[in-house]
Amino acid sequence: MTKSTIYIGTGGYSDTDLIGTLYPHGAKAGEFLHHYANHYDCVEINASFHASIGQKTLLGMLNKADGRLKFSLKLHQDFSHNFTATAKTAQAFLNILTPLQGYLAPLLLQFPHSFERNFANRQYLAEMVKWFENQALAIEFRHPSWHIKPVFTHFANSPNLIWVNTDYPKNIGLPNTPFWANARTAYYRLHGRRSDWWEKESTKERHDYRYSEDELSKIADEIFSHRTNFDELFIYFQNTTNAHSFYNIMMLKEKLSAYGFVVKTPEIKGQGELF
């Protein structure tokens, strides 16, 4: 049995495509997170990217998860796309996270493909990471210009920064850097491998992809080969479209379990009781 802990979940939990698999038929949106926590042990909250999120909402999530989930919240688009966030904005966001203490996974900062490594963007990023210097911050770079040795070296020497490993479609201009854990906490996002990624207008369409057995076997092999480089790994499948993530997570858990990793098995609470 390996000593590393692996948490597995999805990007968001509100996709109605998961009704009939992850969620029972007839389940209401307000019940989704309860059922989600029966199967998974972490969740990436994407709603915080589109709109500000309040403590009341976070407390509601904690209550529905019944202490069974760790939460990664995606930073608002003002940080990653609009560049209008300030130190005051960051502190206000961190203050809102207080109820999640003990249940907080790394925050996620996802930059778009247009965010290339130039002087202005480097200066902006250097200033912004100071705002989160006391919080684990996972950063996803979609432009290949960031996937170079000087950046890797900086991450290796920055205790609060976590390199986001990504699985993207091949040969379409997105980076395909091998798995790397720069800190004892690692982060991995699986986006699917649609070759027509850029032709799709919506995120839902881009994530309409189901990994094959062979593809997941290679991913499991890669994770196992790096097991001594991390203490905990958060894996988030983004392909909730058509419930692909539901089947792929089961497949990956089986492969990781065979390697000696401990993975969460379904724990049904509030379902199936006779009385």
- Please report the pLDDT score of residue 267 as a whole number: 73
Domain boundaries, the chain: 5-258
CA distance 262 to 269: 20
- Please report the pLDDT score of residue 199 as a whole number: 96
- Please report the pLDDT score of residue 271 as a whole number: 45
pTM of the model: 0.95
- Please report the pLDDT score of residue 266 as a whole number: 84
pLDDT tens digits in sequence order for the chain, 275 residues long: 778 999 999 999 999 999 999 999 999 999 999 999 999 999 999 999 999 999 999 999 999 999 999 999 999 999 999 999 999 999 999 999 998 999 999 999 999 999 999 999 999 999 999 999 999 999 999 999 999 999 999 999 999 999 999 999 999 999 999 999 999 999 999 999 999 999 999 999 999 999 999 999 999 999 999 999 999 999 999 999 999 999 999 999 999 999 999 999 887 654 433 32
- Please report the pLDDT score of residue 2 as a whole number: 77
Residue entry with tokens 């092999």: 221
How far from 109 is each of 65, 77, 78, 202, 226, CA to CA, in Å?
24, 9, 11, 20, 23
Cβ atoms of 165 and 190 within 8 Å: the answer is no
CA distance 26 to 16: 11
CA distance 267 to 184: 28
Report the b/e string of 232-246 with b at 16+ CB within 10 A. Answer: bbbbbbbbbbbbbbb
- Please report the pLDDT score of residue 3 as a whole number: 84
How far from 41 is each of 12, 68, 204, 239, 265, CA to CA, in Å?
13, 6, 23, 17, 10
Domain 5-258 top-level CATH class: alpha beta
For residue 170, count other CB atoms closer than 10 A to its CB: 9
